[in-house]
Chains A and B, each alone.
Chain A
Amino acid sequence: MPCLNWRKENTPQRPKERRQCTHRESLAQFLAHNTVLSAGGTKMKTTHLCSQVGVTNTETELQLSVLLDQFSITAAKKVYLLEADTALSPEETAMEGVGQPAKMKCLEGPHLNQGPAKSCGSLAPEKELVSASHLEEEEENEEGEEDLDPDPDLAPGPEEEEEEEDEKDLGDPAVLSAVHNTQRGGLSSPGIKIPDVLGMSPTSLHFLWQTLDYLSPVLFRPKFPSANSPACHFGHQLLLPDPSLFCSLPTSWPPKFSLPSHLTQLHPQHQRLLQLQQHSRMQSPPAKKPWSQQPDPYANLMTRKEKDWVIKVQMVQLQSENPRLDDYYYQKYYQKLEKKQADDELLGRKNKVESLKLVTPYIQKAEAYESVVRIEGSLGQVAVSTCFSPRRAIDAVPHGTQEQEAGAASSQRLRVLHHIEKMFLQLLEIEEGQKDGPPQPCYSEQQSKQVEKLFLALKTQEQNNLEEAADGFLQVLSVRKGKALVARMLPFLPQNQAVSLLLAITHHLPLLVRRDVADQALQMLFKPLGRCISHLTFHELLQGLQGLTLLAPGSSERPVTVVLQNQFGISLLYALLSHGEQLVSLDSSLEKSNSDYTTWTDMVVLIAWEIAQMPTASLAEPLTFPSNLLPLFCHHVDKQLVQQLEARMELAWIY
C-alpha cells in the first residue's frame, strides 16, 4: 500500500530534496491511493475517509495540492501523520488500542492549553473513524506489515542526524519525525514519555509540540459560508484539524478582516462600529468567492519556518521560572477572564468560548555562565564572550563596604526608608508563598522562618539597645509605607509576636498619632490590630491600656487625651475596652482576681472621665463603635456621667 510505504520509497532521494518534496508527494500519494480506491467503487470505509478529506475526484486533489503549496503544510502533515501512524501500528488491532494513541496524543499535545478534555473528545471520534477505516484496509489488503515497523525506524535515522546539526530548524522534517517518534513512544507507554530516539532533547521536542499546537488552531476554522470568519473564532479551544476544511481556506492567510479577539477591550462605540462592519461584510458578499481579490504574488516571502523561528525567539525571551511573579498582571488578567467566562457560562450563555492562554516554552536554561571573570591577582575584570552575549560589557559591581554616614538626619531617614524596602521585599515573598487565600499564620517551615526573620528585622533593626529598637520600630511606623508593611505583616505573625507589636503601638500611641497627622494612614492598621486584640488575654490588655492612662513624667496631660482626638486612637481604645468588657463578662473569675480587676475598673473610670471632659467637637469619630461600651461604663460609673458619656459618644458617632 503506497500510503504506508511512503517513507521507504523516498529514502533513496537526496536528503535536502527529500525534505521539500517528501511531504507533498506523500500526501498526494496518500490521496491518490484513496481516490483510486473510491473511484473503484468498492464499498470500503475509505470512502468515508475520503469524504472527510474532501477528495472525491482528481480535480479536487489537484486543488488540494495547490492549496497545500500556498499554505502551511505542517498542520496538514500532522493530520496525515496521525492517520498514517495509526495505520503503522499493526500491533494494535483492537479499536481501543488505536483509540488510545489518539487520546494520548491529544493529551500530550495541548496539555498546556485549556480544554484538553474537549479537544480529546472531538479528536477521538474522528480518529477512531479514521483508524478503523485504515485498519480495515490493512486487514483486507496486505498481511505481514510487521516488516514495516523497522523501516520507519531506519528511515528517520538519517533524517535525525541532519536535524541534530540544524538545531534551530523548526522545519517540517523535524516536526515530522518528532511527531512520528512521539507517537511511537506514546504507544509504548501510556504516560507522557518522550523517548530519546531523536537527537533533540525532550524539552525542545516538547516545545515543538507546543509550536504545532498553537499553530493548528490558526489554520483550521469551522467551515462557514463566508471565508472571512473573524478572528474571534480563533479564541476557540483547539479544534481538530478537520481535513474537510482544506478546500475552504482562503488565499490570503491570515484573513484580511480580523476582529480583535474578545481579549481586547474596545470603546463601546468602537465595538459597535466593528460589529456593524462585520455584519455588513457577512451579509453583502455571501456569494463572493474566497479568492475574490487578486492573489498576491509576493505573499509568503517569509516562509512558515521563518515565522516560527521569530515566534520561537520571542517565546524564549518570555520564558520564566515563576510566571506568577514575572508576569503578574497577565496572569491575574487571565484568571479574571476565565472566571468571567465561567460565570457567563453558568448564567447560560451557550457559547463556550475558551480563550487561549499564552504558553511560554519551558526550555531549560543553559548552565549559568559567568559573563565577567575575575582573575585573582589582576586588577579589574575580564569580559568573557559567549553565544548569548558576544561582547558583554564588564559589570560594574561594587566591592567593599559602603561608607557609613554618621549623624545626618536625612541619612537617618534614608536608612529607615531603605530598611522598609528590604522588609517589604521579604513580605512580598511571604505573601507570594501564601498563594491565593487570606493571609494566615503559615504552616510550612520555610514560611515560618521567613516570617520570623522579617519580624526580627522589624523589631531589632540592628540596634543594641531595647529602647533604640523600639525607636526604630516607631520610625518605621512613622512612614506611610512602614504602616502598610506592618498592617500586611500582622496576619502572618504568631500571636505572641503580634501582641508585642500591638503593645508597642499602644504604648507609643500618642507619638504615633502626632506623627501621623500628615498621612492619616494609621487607619490601615486598625483591621489587623483589631483581629489581634480579639485574642488578647486580660493581662495583656491591661498592659496595653496602662500605657495610655499613666501620666507621662513632665506633662500634665494623659496620653488618653491625645488619643481620643484621633480617629485611629479612639477606635483602638474602644476596641480594647470592648474586648476587656467581653472578657470580663464571659469569665466571672476575673472579677475575683483583685489587682487586675481593680486596675481595670480604675482605667475604665479614668477613660470615662476623660471622654466626658473632652469637648464633643474634638472627640474623634471611631471607625467602629462597639456595642458593649455603654453597658461597660454603666457598670463602673455613676449615672450622671454615663448620661454625659452617652450624649458625647453618640453625638460623635452620628457625626
Chain B
Amino acid sequence: MNYMPGTASLIEDIDKKHLVLLRDGRTLIGFLRSIDQFANLVLHQTVERIHVGKKYGDIPRGIFVVRGENVVLLGEIDLEKESDTPLQQVSIEEILEEQRVEQQTRLEAEKLKVQALKDRGLSLPRADTLDEY
C-alpha cells in the first residue's frame, strides 16, 4: 500500500509469516520470502496444517514454491496472537487418522445422497465436468 497507494500488493508481506489457502484445500503456513508479478509465492519453513474439527496437526514441509493461480487467499499471521487459538494441536499421525475418518464419513454420506437421487431419477453432475466458478 505504501508503494502503490490504492492498490493491493504483496510487497509489504515479504518476510512475514503467512497462512496460505490453496485451491486443492491445503493450508500452508510459512514465511513469505519472494513473490513475482503473478503472485507466485516462495514460502520458507512451511508447515502444512491439517484441520479436523477442533484439532489440527502440522506437517513440516520445508520450502514451497506455489504457482500464483493456485492460491485462494493468503493472510499475515500475527506472531503474538498465533498461540492463543481454541484449537488443539495433535500429532501428525493422529490428525491424519482423523482426516481419514472424516473423509470416509463424507464419502459415505455422499454415496447415500447419490443413491437417493438415483432412486428418484435424478443425477448430480460429476465434479470434473462442473465449471470452476
Chain A contacts to B: CB under 8 angstroms = 214-215, 217-218, 231, 234, 252, 254, 256, 258, 260-261, 263, 296, 298-302, 306-307, 310-311, 313-315, 317-318, 330, 333-334, 355-358
Given contacts A301-B33, A302-B33, contact A258 B12 (CB under 8 A): yes
Q: How far is the CB of A215 from chain B (nearest CB, A)?
A: 7
Complex CA distance for A217 and B4, rounded to whole angstroms: 12
Q: Give the distance in Å from the alpha carbon of A433 to the alpha carbon of B45 in the complex.
A: 55
Closest to B45 in A: A298
Q: Which of A215, A301, A318 contacts B7 (CB 8 A)?
A: A318
With contact pairs A261-B1, A298-B33, A302-B35 given, residues A311 and B9 touching in the complex (Cβ less than 8 Å): yes
The residue that B4 contacts in the complex, of A231, A299, A301, A314, with Cβ under 8 A, is A314
- Give residues of chain B (28-76) contacting chain A, Cβ–Cβ below 8 Å: 31, 33-37, 42, 44
Residues of B within 8 A of A296 (CB): 15, 31
CB contacts (< 8 Å) of A314 on chain B: these are 4, 7, 9, 37
Q: How far is the CA of A356 from the CA of B6 in the complex (A)?
A: 9
Asked if B11 CB lies within 8 Å of chain A CBs, one says yes
Measured in the bound complex, the distance between the Cα atoms of B6 and A334 in whole Å is 9
Q: A318 CA to B36 CA in the complex, in Å?
A: 16
Residue contact A254 to B2, C-beta cutoff 8 Å: yes
Residues of A contacting B9 in the complex (Cβ-Cβ under 8 angstroms): 311, 314
B5 to A263, Cβ gap below 8 A?
Answer: yes
Task: Determine the chain A residues whose CB is within 8 A of the CB of B4 once the complex forms.
Answer: 214, 311, 314-315, 318, 358
A252→B15 CA distance, assembly (Å): 9
Q: Which A residues are in CB contact (< 8 Å) with B35?
A: 302, 310
Q: Is B79 an interface residue (CB 8 A)?
A: yes
- A residues in contact with B7, CB < 8 Å: 314, 318, 358
Whether, in the assembled complex, B22 has its beta carbon less than 8 Å from a beta carbon of chain A, the answer is no
The answer, yes or no, to whether B14 is at the interface (CB within 8 Å) is: yes
Assuming the contacts A298-B31, A302-B34, asked whether A254 and B12 have C-beta atoms less than 8 A apart, the reply is: yes
Which residues on A sit within 8 Å (CB–CB) of B1?
231, 234, 260-261, 263
Minimum distance in angstroms from B40 CB to a CB of chain A = 10
Q: In the complex, what residues of A have CB within 8 A of residue B6's CB?
A: 263, 330, 333-334, 357-358
Is there an interface contact between B11 and A311, defined as CB atoms closer than 8 Å?
Answer: yes
State whether A298 touches B37 (Cβ < 8 A): no
Determine the distance from Cα of A254 to Cα of B5 in the docked complex, in whole angstroms: 15
Collect the chain B residues with CB atoms within 8 Å of residue A307's CB. 11, 14
In Å, the complex CA distance between A260 and B5 comes to 11
Complex formed: what's the CA distance from A202 to B34 in Å? 31
Min distance, Cβ B13 to any Cβ of chain A, angstroms: 10
Q: Is the CB of B15 within 8 A of A310?
A: no
Q: Within the assembled complex, what's the spacing in Å between the Cα atoms of A311 and B3?
A: 8
Query: Which of B11, B31, B44 gathers most chain A CB within 10 Å?
Result: B11
Is B5 within 8 A of A256, CB to CB? Answer: no
B contact residues around A300 at 8 Å (CB): 15
Q: Given A298-B33, A301-B34, A318-B7: A217 and B14 within 8 A (CB)?
A: no
Query: When A256-B79, A310-B35, A314-B9 are in contact, do A302 and B14 touch as well, CB less than 8 Å?
Result: yes
Closest-by-CB residue of A relative to B33 is A301
Additional A-B contacts beyond A296-B15, A298-B31, A307-B11 (8; CB < 8 A): A215-B3, A217-B2, A301-B34, A301-B42, A307-B14, A317-B37, A357-B5, A358-B4
Q: How many angstroms between the C-alpha atoms of A358 and B3 in the bound complex? A: 8
- Residues of chain B contacted by A214 (CB below 8 angstroms): 2-4
Chain B's closest residue to A358 (CB) is B6
The docked-state distance in angstroms from the alpha carbon of A53 to that of B46 is 41
24 A-B pairs with C-beta separation under 8 A: A214-B2, A231-B1, A231-B2, A234-B2, A254-B12, A258-B12, A261-B1, A263-B5, A263-B6, A296-B15, A298-B15, A299-B15, A301-B15, A301-B34, A301-B44, A302-B14, A302-B35, A307-B14, A310-B11, A310-B35, A314-B7, A315-B4, A358-B5, A358-B6
Q: Smallest CB–CB gap between A181 and chain B, Å?
A: 25
- A281 nearest CB neighbor, chain B only: B80
Query: Closest CB of chain A to B10's CB: distance in Å?
Result: 8
Who on chain B is nearest to A231 by CB? B2
Please state if B5 and A355 are interface contacts (CB–CB under 8 Å). Answer: yes
Residues in A with CB closer than 8 Å to B42 are: 301
Q: Please report the C-alpha to C-alpha distance between residue A215 and residue B42 in the assembled complex, in whole angstroms.
A: 23
Judging by beta carbons under 8 Å apart, are B2 and A310 in contact?
A: no
Task: Name the residue of chain B whose CB is nearest to the CB of A311.
Answer: B3
Smallest CB separation, B95 vs chain A (Å): 27
Contact partner, B3, options A218, A256, A301, Cβ 8 Å: A218
For B7, B15, B34, B44, the residue with the greatest tally of chain A CB atoms inside 10 Å of its CB is B15
Interface centre among B12, B42, B44 (most CB of A within 10 A): B12
Cα-based distance from A231 to B42 in the complex (angstroms) = 25
Whole-angstrom CA separation of A218 from B2 in the bound complex:
7
| Contact A256–B16 (Cβ < 8 Å) | yes
A356 to B79, CA, bound (A): 29
Nearest Cβ in chain B — how far from A285, in angstroms? 12
Select one of A298, A317, A318, A330 contacting B44, CB under 8 A: A298
Alpha-carbon distance between A263 and B7 when the two chains are bound, in angstroms: 11
The listed residue with most B CB atoms (<10 A of its CB), out of A215, A296, A301, is A301
Evaluate contact between A356 and B5: CB separation under 8 angstroms: yes
Complex: chain A residue closest to B34, CB-CB: A302
Q: For B15, what are the chain A residues with a Cβ–Cβ distance below 8 Å?
A: 252, 296, 298-301
Q: Which residues of B contact A231 (CB under 8 A)?
A: 1-2
- Kindly state the separation between the CA atoms of A301 and B79 in the bound complex, as whole angstroms: 20
Contact of B5 among A252, A261, A315, A317 (CB under 8 A): A261
Across the interface, which residues of A come within 8 angstroms of B14, CB to CB? 302, 307
List A contacts of B79 (CB < 8 A). Answer: 256
Closest to A296 in B: B15
Q: Hey, which chain A residues are within 8 Å of B3, CB to CB?
A: 214-215, 218, 311
A252 to B31, CA, bound (A): 13
Considering the chains assembled together, what is the distance between the CA atoms of A130 and B100 in angstroms? 70
Interface centre among B14, B16, B31 (most CB of A within 10 A): B14
Measured between C-beta atoms, what is the minimum distance from A514 to chain B in Å?
42
The interface residues of chain B lying within 8 Å CB-to-CB of A317 are: 37
Query: Which B residues are CB-close (under 8 A) to A218?
Result: 2-3
Quote the shortest CB–CB distance from B64 to chain A (angstroms): 14
